[in-house]
Structure 1
Amino acid sequence: MDVIQFPPSEGGRGAVALKDIPEGHTVFEIPRSLVLSTRTSTLPQRFGGNAWKKAMLHQGWSGLILCMMWEAAQGSHSKWSAYFDSLPTSFDTPMFWNDEDLTELKGTSVVDKLGKDQAEKDFTEKILPAVQSRPDLFNSQDIPTKYTLETYHLMGTRISSRSFTLEKAEEEVEHHDADDPAENEAANTSMGSAMDVDGPPSLDHEQGDEHPDHQEEEEGNNEEEEEDSTEVVMIPLADILNARYRTENVKLFYEPNCLKMVSTKPIKAGEQIWNTYGDLPNAELLRGFGHVDYLPLAGTDNKFGNPGDVVEVRADLFVQCALEVHPEHVKEAESELIERIDWWLEEGGDDVFVLEIDPDSSELEIPPPMLSFTRLILFQAEWERAKSKSKPPKPTMDMQTLSVLVAVLERRLQAYDTSLEADESILNTRLDALSLNKRHALIVRVGEKRILQAYRDKVGHLLDEARMKEAGASSGKSSGKGKRQREADDSEKDGGRRIKRQVR
């Protein structure tokens, strides 16, 4: 394996196979002692367990970020010195974009999820006080240069783009359970990371032999224990591999004393070695990693994008559109809307609905929860029935519900400053002339708009059919004639036309 610089479309710096690699081959191993985490860095121990918790450094990524800042400040005295030298010092994630480039993402979910304000709050309320409280650990001369907000953002982005969620070694879990159960529980409240790590394949096979009901019960009873047994870590060398939609050919597996990167399919000499980030949509890839997937889309006329793209639609948009489109249904129950929404959330309903197109069949399905929520907001009878049965309304596609969905999709499309047609024109003619940030933003926007437009077309078609059906039913009723009489009338008309043709 060799590390080389690929073009941005291939992921940038990555690893390539120097010779043919068969499936199931261990590409490399990493000792657990080289994994960088809040358990392997000596800073938390020196800081003191109780003081660490009091400073709230056991929550989220703040503790790991501070460990990385401290280890980097040690220079050659840190065993991860060479690792820090290999890490990127700049990123293309929107966290570092200027305001002009960020406007290109208007309408997407990227900006709202950046978390920049919360990160800066954590830096001000957690990191700085902790650093300033321990001059024996943090050299006061280093604070203005090595413990800055910029460094905090840099380390945080390194975690979001390159970290792994790892099972702790059994002896670590047992040791912390025995010594300080509360500390062990608190140390595992991380927010997630870029890549998950699988256990040994043999363990997966053994677990598969368990009875499903027993396994589900075990998972329910041990949910907290499973959460406590993982941690977010940085793994040297493993994080150098790029990822692309459905391209992975290796995966990281954990063992008690080491981590192994194992090939999941044959890799030919000269091919890039790909890890997986979970086939994320471009909005998440851009936000967390600073790149997008731009691949041929199956079932389209030479279009490119990310087959894993999705669009998020907030539930409050359905409430707004229901009030506007059908005030006759909602106005009487407007005072109860908050109660209905609270009930929906308490019953486990989502406050954001996800739209996607099946990457294999190119089919799209209107999410049943989206229909149920719309009907819950629209109809008093559905609300009463839901309360009495503790079940959401059935996902029925009647004319009133569909008309609200059309309004929601049109409003969601209007959240972008540009139209799909205008964006696709730029995509097809001037993509290479754009700056990297604007290029990425354009690809994200187009992917989302295509999904929204596809749903708008489908729901609009269903609404037209529902209206035609209702119009036909109303026409039949207004004639005052039964089915047999209408058939007789039709027969007479047909006969009349035949007679006229014969006369001519």
Structure 2
Amino acid sequence: MATEAKRPKTGDEKCVLEPLNNFLLWCESVQLTLSDKVYLSKEGTAAEYGMLAKEDIEEGHVLFSIPRDALLHQGTTKVKKVLEEGKKCLESASGWVPLLLSLLYEYTSSTSHWKPYLSLWPNFRTLDQPMFWSENERDKLLKGTGIPESVITDLRKLQDEYNSVVLPFIKSHPDLWDPEKHNLELYKSLVAFVMAYSFQEPVEDDDEDEDDDEKEPNLPMMVPMADMLNHISKHNANLEYTPECLKMVSIRRIRKGEEVFNTYGQMANWQLLHMYGFAEPFPNNINDTADIKMATVYKAAAQVAGSEADQQLLEDKWKMLCEMEVVGEKGVFIFGQSGSLTYHELYTTIKVLCMSSQIFEDFRENEGWEEDDEDDDNKMEQDLSFEGLAGLSEGWKRLLYAAATMTLDSYNEDVETDRRLMEDQRALAELSSRERRALYVRLGQKNILQRIQQLTKPAS
């Protein structure tokens, strides 16, 4: 579901159209209604399949609706009863195992009710999340973005889940699953498929007294037709949920020939690439973010803590922040297009790290409370916005500047090298799709980090 220019189509036209035509016939059979103002295509769309407007579409128009019994999930699959009986032994950290077992069965069944739908992804060759890249490619193109570390964690958890939960279950039901056919490789592809194409219905929080442990989990499901739409942050359609069906509705006027775009939420480019395998071209993503690791802020503070006493004081401050659960070993401070998005944690962290020894002792004796504390959320947000950074004290700015600089240094290429590449249309056109998407991710993050640098640069 990438949002970059389409390449010319190659291959047999019939091979392209047959799966789509079969899917549309299936849609009619399950009473999925598609507006006559739109059509599906592989031409003129952002990537792969997409939806285009045949004519002008007004705001509020129902582009399609799909009945709930046509959705694919653990409650509609043919193996529903077996999954329900084995519910306890299928529990996992991801919560995806029942859906994935449903897909393992339905994807390989020649008689599956969803075969025309699932046939749109033969062998899942179009999936291109970084989990399918080589480790060298991830390190070369994505170092510093946070994606390589996330992928390593994903692959480890995926393999553990398959070996400890999925494999024993399918071995105990040889009439439905075959370990040779339903192997780890297919499981990995289906995990990527769920990451890229599934939907989760919003949970209504009507009963505030209901115990969280008793609430039904928000489980993923496959929504035929909805997953044909590509994503951009400035989208023009939204998926709505009703008790009878799901509806895709236009949220603004859509011109004839324009592509219909859904949204996957307010997602930064690194999240889009990690989960979906694409990134919005820089600088189009209004939801792009950059992370500064909490540990990096500590390292920045350690740079100026020269004496042994200063180092010990810094350790005590950090320990206090950890006890307050303000910072953590793998935590990050997030910056968006207008400043810090984790301003409460960042404000508290910088404030404590910049305290004098006497003020910190008083702070520690009060267990993190200050009687005359006038810091509220509005002040914190304003001070750590891009409008407010320049007005911070020199000590605070030095700390932020050092942390942003360290983060920028963690990438393979500096920001100017990536910016020149982005501005060179010929060089950009010669990049592979992976190189181009990685560039969008890196440059979006670096642009935010460089702005932090510019606003906090210490006075010379």
Q: TM-score, normalised by structure 1?
A: 0.72
Hey, what does 1:30 align to over in structure 2?
66
How has the CA–CA distance of structure 1 residues 367 and 350 changed in structure 2, closer, same or farther, with 3 Å as cutoff? farther
Task: Give the alignment partner of residue 144 of structure 1, picking from 180, 188, 206.
Answer: 180
Q: Which residue of 2 aligns with 1:417?
A: 412
Aligned to 2:300: 321
Corresponding residue of 2:265: 278
C-alpha displacement of 1:34 = 0.8
The equivalent residue for 1:127 is 166
CA offset at residue 126 of structure 1? 1.3
Q: Secondary structure at the match of 1:260?
A: strand
Larger radius of gyration: 1
How far does the alpha carbon of each residue in 1:118-166 deviate from its partner, in whole angstroms, 9 at most, with x for none? 111111211111111222322x4xx323x12221111111111111112
> How many angstroms apart in 2 are the aligned matches of 1:391 and 1:5?
59
Q: Superposed, which structure 2 residues align to 1:236-385 within 5 Å?
A: 236-246=224-234, 248-294=235-281, 304-328=283-307, 330-334=310-314, 336-337=316-317, 339-345=319-325, 351-358=331-338, 367=343, 369-379=345-355, 380=357, 381-382=359-360, 384-385=362-363
Instruction: Report the AA paired with residue 324 of structure 1.
Output: Q
* TM superposition shift of 1:334: 5.0
Letter of the 1:109 partner, please give it.
Answer: G
1:253 touches 1:261 (CA, 8 Å); kept in 2?
A: yes
CA contact (8 A) 2:333 2:340 kept: no
Q: In structure 2, how many angstroms separate the alpha carbons of the residues matched to 1:343 and 1:117?
A: 29
Residue in 2 that maps onto 1:99: 135
Q: 1 CA distance for matches of 2:337 and 2:132?
A: 31
Contact 1:242 1:275 in 2 (8 A): yes
CA contact (8 A) 1:364 1:455 kept: no
For 2:208 and 2:185, the matched residues in 1 are separated by: 41
In the superposition, relative to structure 1, how do residues 348 and 426 fare at CA in structure 2: closer, same or farther (>3 Å)? closer
* 1:62 to 1:365, Cα distance in 2 relative to 1, 3 A: closer
CA distance in 2, matches of 1:350, 1:94: 21
User: 1:203 maps to which residue?
Assistant: none
SS in 2 for 1:446: helix
- Please list the CA deviations of residues 269-291 of structure 1 after superposition, one character each: whole Å capped at 9, or x if unmatched: 22211111124211111111111
2:423 matched to 1:435? no
Displacement of 1:383: 6.0
The structure-2 alpha-carbon separation of the partners of 1:55 and 1:264, relative to structure 1 and needing over 3 Å to count, comes to closer
Aligned length: 396
Distance 1:6 1:40, change over 3 A: same
Residue 264 and residue 458 in structure 1: after superposition, are their counterparts in 2 closer, same or farther (change >3 A)? same
Separation (CA, whole Å) in 1 of partners of 2:217 and 2:317 = 41
SS at match of 1:332: helix
In the TM superposition, residue 264 of structure 1 has moved relative to its aligned partner by 1.5
Stretches of structure 1 lacking an aligned partner (at least 5 in a row): 169-198, 200-214, 296-303, 468-504
Q: Which runs of 5 or more residues in structure 2 are unaligned?
A: 1-37, 384-391
* Candidates 99, 106, 112, aligned match of 1:64: 99
TM superposition shift of 1:234: 0.6
Structure 2: how far apart are the matches of 1:354 and 1:386?
Answer: 26
Q: Do residues 234 (structure 1) and 234 (structure 2) align?
A: no
Shift of 1:377: 3.3
Which stretch of the first structure deviates more once superposed, 77-86 or 39-48?
39-48
Aligned to 2:443: 446
Post-superposition Cα deviations, 1:12-36, rounded to whole Å, max 9, x if no partner, equal: 3201122332222211111100111
8 A Cα contact 2:404 2:452, kept in partner: yes
Contact 1:345 1:351 in 2 (8 A): no
> Counterpart of 2:201 in 1: which secondary structure?
strand
Hey, what's the Cα distance between the residues in 1 that align with 2:315 and 2:368? Answer: 20
Aligned 8 A contact 1:71 1:78 in 2:
yes
2:198 matched to which residue of 1? 163
Which residue identity is paired with 1:294? Answer: P
Letter in 1 for 2:422: L
Shift of 1:337: 4.7
Deviation at 1:342, TM superposition (A): 2.4
User: What amino acid is aligned across from residue 352 of structure 1 in structure 2?
Assistant: V
Given that 2:294 and 2:329 are in contact with CA atoms closer than 8 Å, whether structure 1 keeps it comes out as no
Task: Please give the secondary structure, in 1, of the residue aligned with 2:366.
Answer: helix
Task: Tell me whether 83-92 or 234-243 shows the greater mean CA deviation.
Answer: 83-92
Pairwise CA RMSD: 2.9
The residue number in structure 1 matching 2:26 is none
Evaluate the alpha carbon distance shift between residue 45 and residue 313 of structure 1 in structure 2; reply closer, same or farther with a 3 A threshold: same
Shift of 1:314: 1.3
8 Å Cα contact 1:159-1:234 kept in structure 2: yes
Q: How far apart in 2 are the matches of 1:387 and 1:219?
A: 40
Distance 2:44 2:216 in 1: 40
Is 2:157 aligned against 1:118? Answer: yes
The answer to whether the 8 A contact 2:317-2:352 is kept is: no
Equivalent of residue 399 in structure 1, options 365, 380, 394: 394
In structure 2, relative to structure 1, the CA distance for the partners of 1:223 and 1:244 (3 Å cut) is farther
- Output the CA distance in 1 between the equivalents of 2:266 and 2:327: 29
Amino acid at match of 1:326: A
Paired residue for 1:175?
A: none
Whichever residue aligns with residue 324 of structure 2, its letter is W
- Tell me which of 112, 115, 121 is aligned to 1:87: 121
Query: Matched residue of 1:230: which SS?
Result: coil
- Seen in structure 2, the aligned counterparts of structure 1 residues 325 and 432 have a Cα distance that, compared at 3 Å, is same
* Shift in alpha-carbon separation, 1:323–1:45, aligned structure 2, 3 A: same
SS state at 1:86 partner:
coil
Moved more, 58-67 or 365-374: 365-374
